[in-house]
Structure 1
């Protein structure tokens, strides 16, 4: 296998932000290619290198990216996919964009990371998004191209009914596909990258390992001869097989990029939210993973390695998904450390300290409207209905004991007041 490296970035939030999109200052500096890989529904309990979960998939390509690069342990995303995707694409929180739950459409007034990079580099970068979109549906006015993305091909909706029979949207039109979707996204990515003559930014959004549970092609996984999935079967090996198939395709992608191009590429791998309830593993439960504001829903894996990354090992800086916007922009040569709700953590790739002192995330599914904020030690979850939960994450990392059940010690009471003040500053 060729030498390759990966960059896994975390997601972030910003305080005291302007609401109007800004235009960055152009730069003529030669910059690396950026490859952002986003997995769909993959928590720490399903990822090698983390203590959560007992059953892990075989992922040699992700393992190599992790061991050769930097693991960010405290990245926060949103509980479901669309808000996380919108936060990366815009650098703004969901309550600003209106994307607060899966399926919420992104307004065309929002400025995308792809457009921001093109403006800020005076068109030096080619940009693409391949794979799952889920910020508008087929036929909607808000197409990926309407956000300044040069090339889009993929799945407009949130999921497929069949990994082997699905609708591909490309160049504004749809076509029925009968090849395995994870492989098709990889093929499209290889073709696009190898057709570029200038630096590029590619966001590859796999829909794996999102449901439906299924059996991938045998050559792509190590889970054995799985029968077709039906209700009543244990979904775990099917879920693991989908992750292994994605890892197999990541290996194909990296092999398919010429060595000299890969040597000048930063790679980012992360997940959009935690594991689905059907396959959640201890210490998580079905109510503390995807769809929840608990750690199993919002604290996801992220690995980083590649061009310009001189650190290896683990980093415990506080990060949010919005932070990917300004970080990736920085890496293309745009000198904006803070943009809207996004703080750049590009400096962490070589050393230094993180700039974020609080993490923020949110959800609003029409029934539950709530927010979470943390300073790394304490975490406060607040609902619009007035319900609150407070956890001491250093002693209780999986949120088993709500401190508000009893009278608060002085330190916890002070921390709650600080978190409430920061939450008010963010949302008002």
Structure 2
């Protein structure tokens, strides 16, 4: 996430740089989503003993804010729908992979007046090649489904037309993004949804990563998945950097860049989290995701932030950054003030969920210190995330203090209110 500029709807207004160049007061906004990249696979987070080399993301961190307490959903489609609509899955209808977003849903791009909008990359919200366009996105190109079988032979959908691409996915999506940005002559909002580092584990082109000359046979990949997973992440970072470098200094300095993961790391490569507490689960390893914001009016530089932020909150934040407003009643709360204020507080509670075939679901809510989970079989768990960040000790298995009991009852009540 990069570059916040004071906002307004008249892009003819602005301020002068030292050289006299006029800078628009309306920022471009770039939202980059990594697929299946948890905290344990992200630099600057103290979870995971091994990390990929990501100099471009590191640069954003050095010049911005790294957020510690961002909740998404345990799997990709619900997270994407929650960002797109500003609503929890219980309110937008997408609570698991396989649910389809209604064509009548009001989406973020509908509130971006005076902006050109594009979504490039993974959609995974329906099988309708025309859905992104019919819902109000100006340009769509990417992967309609949840992923690809082969990173170098895959189905590319571009404005409703499907072709086969033999270009490395991460590079092709970046090419499309660069071309689209270069064509814009008004403020733009680009949602760039990489499918990397989602499976299949593979070896990207050599020049895109630093994991070395690894074998490409499946047996070697299966025996050393983490190296190939990191290679895909490093390729993503390289291509993200290429996109940023393709912009003029003026344009890059007038762009808000948001980087976020859609859910935790998959179990085959997850580090630190216990078995069953990774992608697909309602535990922290499934829902606590990396997010970084850096840029012009982000005055808090090279810092970490512990505010509670939900993926839904990107909706109202991006709309506010654009100088627009929304009349929609949703589950989004703008955190724009946090970008320049250490005293700003976003939320008191977070919420996440995942449903299963048959209609059962796991739900979770947390406050600053504790987390409550209600599982599909109505069993419960209650954790002190400060003392027990990996959720190893269920406080319900012991005699709780009066303070713990008060927090437990409060979180149960908050969850019931969210669901009702």
Please report the TM-score for the alignment, with normalisation by the length of structure 1. Answer: 0.90
What corresponds to 1:354 in structure 2?
A: 345
Partners of 2:186 and 2:329 in 1: CA distance? 25
Give the secondary-structure state (helix, strand or coil) at the position aligned to 1:373: strand
Contact 1:311–1:350 under 8 Å retained in 2: yes
Change (3 A) 1:337 1:355: farther
Give the secondary-structure state (helix, strand or coil) at the position aligned to 1:101: coil
What corresponds to 2:317 in structure 1?
A: 327
Cα deviations by residue, 1:170-221 (Å, 9 ceiling, x for unpaired): 0201000001000000000000001000000000000000000000000011
RMSD, aligned α-carbons: 1.7
Q: Post-superposition shift, 1:425?
A: 1.3
1:108-119 correspondence to structure 2 within 5 Å: 108-118=103-113
For residue 408 of structure 1, the aligned residue among 400, 406, 409 is 400
What corresponds to 1:379 in structure 2?
A: 371
Partners of 2:217 and 2:298 in 1: CA distance? 41
Q: Post-superposition shift, 1:108?
A: 1.0
Partners of 1:286 and 1:275 in 2: CA distance? 12
1:248-259 correspondence to structure 2 within 5 Å: 248-259=238-249
What corresponds to 2:64 in structure 1?
A: 69
For residue 310 of structure 1, the aligned residue among 299, 306, 311 is 299
Change (3 A) 1:423 1:364: same
Cα deviations by residue, 1:104-161 (Å, 9 ceiling, x for unpaired): 210112111011213xxxxx11000000000012xx2761111100000000000100
For residue 182 of structure 1, the aligned residue among 153, 170, 180 is 170
Matched pairs, number: 399
Give the secondary-structure state (helix, strand or coil) at the position aligned to 1:391: strand
Partners of 1:150 and 1:404 in 2: CA distance? 50
Q: Post-superposition shift, 1:28?
A: 3.9
Cα deviations by residue, 1:288-317 (Å, 9 ceiling, x for unpaired): 110011111111111101132111211110
What corresponds to 1:166 in structure 2?
A: 154
Change (3 A) 1:213 1:7: farther
What corresponds to 1:341 in structure 2?
A: 331
Give the secondary-structure state (helix, strand or coil) at the position aligned to 1:42: coil
Q: Post-superposition shift, 1:398?
A: 0.9
Please report the TM-score for the alignment, with normalisation by the length of structure 2. Answer: 0.92
Which shows bigger deviation, 405-414 or 104-113? 405-414
Contact 1:357–1:375 under 8 Å retained in 2: yes
Give the secondary-structure state (helix, strand or coil) at the position aligned to 2:400: coil
Change (3 A) 1:229 1:81: farther
Contact 1:136–1:142 under 8 Å retained in 2: no
Partners of 1:92 and 1:378 in 2: CA distance? 23
What corresponds to 1:13 in structure 2?
A: none
1:245-324 correspondence to structure 2 within 5 Å: 245-282=235-272, 284-312=273-301, 313-324=303-314
Unmatched 5+ residue regions in structure 2?
12-24
What corresponds to 1:212 in structure 2?
A: 200
Unmatched 5+ residue regions in structure 1?
9-25, 119-123
1:81-100 correspondence to structure 2 within 5 Å: 81-100=76-95
Change (3 A) 1:61 1:391: same
